[in-house]
């Protein structure tokens, strides 16, 4: 029995690996070399390769990379703790073309200042790169701190969105 689907898409940031649950809701989006990201081998363990469930995601990603889409409208099904889900929901509220700090995300979810490291861990565990915009989170000093997809991709995405000068 198939528990979901997977496919790959070519993109300006590399070949994307997408997975979806049995209902077709996007459960992950990984980039090549991503820290903690899925690989074709791990994605295919209990999923079937099928591009069909990813048509809307493919269209929206193409429009995003063309600079024509600012907000994704896709059914999502990421797996994570309640704390991670709160952090990820706060990421969804960061507007296209802007950035926030880890401390600001912590404040948005009502976490204490001491919880900033845990917030950073939740952001780093985001299974939906690009779609759930963890690339918009920067260091308190404006630095391009960690991004599971690589800092060069983070800079590329922020430049695409106009948050950084080209």
Strand 137-138 to strand 26-30: parallel, antiparallel, or no bridges (unpaired)?
Answer: unpaired
CA atoms within a 13 Å half-sphere pointing along the CA-CB vector of 135: 27
Q: How far apart are alpha carbons 61 and 68 in whole angstroms?
A: 10
Q: Are 47 and 2 in contact (CB under 8 A)?
A: yes
Catalytic, 134? Answer yes
Catalytic residue among 94, 122, 130, 134: 134
- Active site (catalytic) residues: 134
């Amino acid at each position: 029995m198939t528990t979901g689907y997977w496919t790959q898409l070519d993109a300006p940031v590399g070949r994307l690996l997408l997975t979806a649950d049995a209902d077709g809701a996007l459960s992950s989006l990984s980039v090549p070399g991503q820290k903690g990201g899925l690989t074709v081998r791990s994605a295919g363990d209990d999923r079937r390769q099928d591009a069909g469930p990813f048509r809307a995601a493919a269209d929206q990603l193409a429009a995003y990379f063309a600079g024509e889409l600012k907000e994704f409208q896709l059914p999502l099904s990421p797996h994570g703790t309640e704390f991670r889900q709160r952090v990820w929901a706060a990421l969804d509220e960061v507007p296209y073309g802007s950035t926030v700090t880890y401390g600001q995300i912590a404040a948005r979810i009502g976490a204490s200042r001491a919880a900033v490291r845990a917030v950073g861990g939740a952001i780093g565990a985001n299974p939906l790169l690009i779609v759930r915009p963890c690339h918009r989170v920067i260091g308190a000093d404006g630095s391009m701190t960690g991004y599971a997809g690589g800092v060069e991709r983070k800079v590329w995405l922020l430049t695409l969105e106009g948050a950084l000068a080209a």
